[in-house]
Amino acid sequence: MLSLVPSLVQLLLVFPVKDGKGFLGLGLGLLTPLFVLLFNAVWGVGTAFLLHWINRNSYPSEFDVNQL
C-alpha cells in the first residue's frame, strides 16, 4: 500500500514534469507504468519483510534466565 505513493510521484510528477516523457511516462514505452508499479510493489513487500524481521529479532519475546 505504501508503494503507491512513490509510484504516483514517479508517474505523475517525475516522468511528465521533470523528464518530459509524457503522461505516466508513456514516452518511454507503453509498459512503463506497469514496470513502475511492479518495481515499487516489490520494494514495498521487501521493505515490509525486512522491517518485520528486524522487529522480531531485535527484542526477545521473553527473558530466559537459562540463557545467561
Looking at the 3D structure of the chain, how many domains does it have? Answer: 1
C-alpha span between 28 and 43 (Å, rounded): 21
Beta-carbon contacts of 25 under 8 Å, excluding residues fewer than 6 positions away, are 10, 11, 15, 16, 19, 32, 33, 36
Predicted pLDDT of residue 64: 56
Predicted pLDDT of residue 58: 72
Residue 62 lies in a domain: no
Q: In which domain, by residue range, is 36 found? A: 4-57
Sites in the chain below the pLDDT cut of 70: 1, 59-68
State pTM to two decimals. 0.73
